[in-house]
Every structure is written in structure tokens, then in C-alpha cells.
Amino acid sequence: MSFNPNNVDLDTADPAEIICYLNASENDYDGRLGARVSAIFVILIISTAVTFFPVIAKRAPRLHIPLYVYLFARYFGAGVIVATAFIHLLDPAYDEIGPASCVGMTGHWGDYSWCPAIVLASLIGIFLLDFGAERYVEVKYGICREDPEPIMTSATDNSLHTTTVANQAPVEKEAQLESQSINDSLSERSFKQQIAAFLILEFGVIFHSVIIGLNLGVTGEEFSTLYPVLVFHQSFEGLGIGARMSAIPFRKGSWLPWVLCTLYGLTTPISIAIGLGVRTTYNSGSFTANVVSGVLDAISAGILIYTGLVELLARDFLFDPHRTQDNKRLAFMVISMLWGVGLMALLGKWA
């Protein structure tokens, strides 16, 4: 017997049927096509420009962008990434496939709390990839993580002590070449580790951007509020992406930073355009849409939780051997990060 919402006995009704009925919705598209099209270009231009800013600030010193402006962009962006993981991904994932949702109470989805399991699997998977990549590079280049230089120094000292004065210049030259080789290997290792972590971060953010772009294209009366909120939302996330990218030691003249910034900037506008293309048929509240969106949000949450806490906060504030000892600068970095967390968390009230 099908569920009849007009005749419900709370003592005998299946809670899952009630939840699914309450969560179900029709396509909410209500026109305003011109405003929706404008969102494509506004978000494209603003979010792309903000994403490029930290990269340009770092790679174009002739612009004389003040250090504290760059630091604000970098650490505000780190806070944005952390808040995005918890407020904009983890919470919606629970709403879409969590135990109290229609999906989470239906079929095999109701047999286990799959939402936190997916987040956990994603987080552990990223950790294993990160650890595996780091170990691979260490083995490939034969570099000890804790103390790579004493081997070089010892070899150099022994050579210098056992050679004659006549041979001292060639030995010193050989030592310099060996030192340069090890430094190049360290730089290469650092770059590969950081670019791998960044690509994982951007992958997680892009998942999220696709979903919100589709929703903006078909949302109903919430569009007027959602539009400006998502401009800020995507700009803040873009700042986080750009700030993280600016810290990666790309080779001079590398085109990769510009391609990756552009890729992020294009994702949401393209998704909005796709949403407009299916504006009369796509239903963001359907069971299938909730499953797809919930799983992607949970995967992205795991990625950004690991990346935000480990690759951004822990790496920069706790484990960076070159971290500044200037208390004023450290305080500014922490406050900038807290602003990023706070403002992005606040935006979660609307989007």
C-alpha cells in the first residue's frame, strides 16, 4: 500500500516513509533566467580573480604587494578550507545520506551509518596516498627525512681531510656539486609532495563546486539569497586554493599554477550552465540526487578535513622548521586563519 500523506497513523506509519515524503520536492525553478546567466559570469570573473591573487602576489614581486596582505590571503584561505570541510560538506552530507535522512533510512543505506564511514574511508585513503607518495620520493632520491645533510657533510669532510693541497680545489668543486645535487633532490621531493597534496585538495573542492553550481541553476525562491552568498563562498574557497598554490615551489615560468587556478574558476560557472540546461527536469531533492550529492560531499569532506588540518594548519604552524619566530607575524597569521574559519562558517547559514 502506497504512503498517503493525508491519512497518517503515527503509531503504525513507517518513519522512513514520513521522512522521505517531507524531504521530497519538485523542481523549484521559477524563472529569472537573466539573473541566473549573469551568475555564470559574475562568479567566473570574481572567483577566478581572487584565486589568482595569492599566486600573482608571490610570483610577481615587482607589484610590491605588502607581505601582510599576502599572509592574510594565505592563512585566511587556510581557515576557509577547514570551515568548508565541516560546515559546507560534512553537515550537508549528513542531511543527504545520514541516519536521519530519507536515504539513510531506506534499504541497505539504513543498515549502517554510511556517511561517517565514507568520510573516514576518504580521509584514510588520502593519508595513505600522501604517505605512500612521500615514502616513494624518499626511497627514489635516497634522502633521509630527519637528517639528509650529515651524510653529505661527512663525505665532504673526509674528502677534504684526505686530499692534498694540490687536489683541494677539485675536491671542493666536487663537494659543491654534491651539495647542489642533494639540494635539487630535496626541492624536487618537496615540490612533488606539495603538488600531490594540492591536487587532492582541489579535487575535493571541485566536487563541492559542481553540486552548488547545479543547485544555483535550478533553485527557486532562495535564488536571491543564494546568488550573493555563493559569490562570496566561491571567492573565499578560491582564495584558499590560490593561497595554498602560492606556497608550492613551482619552477620559474611554469604554466601549471595558471591552469589550476583557471580550472577552479571555470568549475562552478560551467556547473551553473549545466543546471540551467536541465532547469525544468533536475530535482535536487530527489532520492538519486541526494545519494550522489551526499556521497560526493562525504568524500570531499574527508579530503578537506585531512588537507585542511594536516597539510595546511599542522604543516605551517606546527611542523615547519622555517616558521617565523616573530610573535607579531605569528599572531597575524593565526588571526587571519580564524577570520577565514569564522566567515566561512557564517556563510553556512545560507549556503
pLDDT mean by block of 10 residues, the chain; 351 residues: 65 71 72 89 94 86 83 91 93 92 87 94 91 79 56 44 48 53 59 80 86 85 88 91 85 86 92 87 83 92 92 86 88 95 92 75
Q: What is the pLDDT of residue 46?
A: 94
Q: What percent of the chain has pLDDT over 90?
A: 34
Q: What is the pLDDT of residue 335?
A: 96
Q: What is the pLDDT of residue 10?
A: 64
Are the beta carbons of 204 and 303 closer than 8 angstroms?
Answer: yes
Q: What is the pLDDT of residue 32?
A: 84
Q: What angle do CA 202, 205, 61 make, to 5 degrees?
A: 50
Q: Which amino acid is at 19?
A: I
Q: What is the dihedral of CA 242, 246, 249, 253, to 10 degrees?
A: 80
Buried b / exposed e along 21-45 (16+ C-beta atoms within 10 A): eebeeebbbeeeeeebeebbebbbe
Q: Using one digit for the tens of pLDDT, what is the confidence trace for 267-310?
A: 999 999 998 888 888 887 788 888 999 999 999 999 999 989 98
* pTM: predicted TM-score of the whole model, two decimal places: 0.79
Are the beta carbons of 87 and 345 closer than 8 angstroms?
Answer: yes
Q: For residue 253, how many other CB atoms are within 10 A of its CB?
A: 6
Q: Cell digits for 80? A: 576557509
Q: What is the pLDDT of residue 64?
A: 80
Q: What is the pLDDT of residue 42?
A: 95
Q: What is the pLDDT of residue 146?
A: 56
- Residue keyed to cell 607518495: 133
Give the span between the Cα atoms of 337 and 235, in whole angstroms. 16
Are the beta carbons of 265 and 258 closer than 8 angstroms?
Answer: no
Q: What is the pLDDT of residue 148?
A: 44
Q: What is the pLDDT of residue 156?
A: 43
Buried b / exposed e along 79-113 (16+ C-beta atoms within 10 A): bbbbbbbbbbbbebbbbbbbeebbbbbbeebeeee
CA 185 to chain centre: 27
End-to-end alpha-carbon separation of the chain, Å?
A: 37
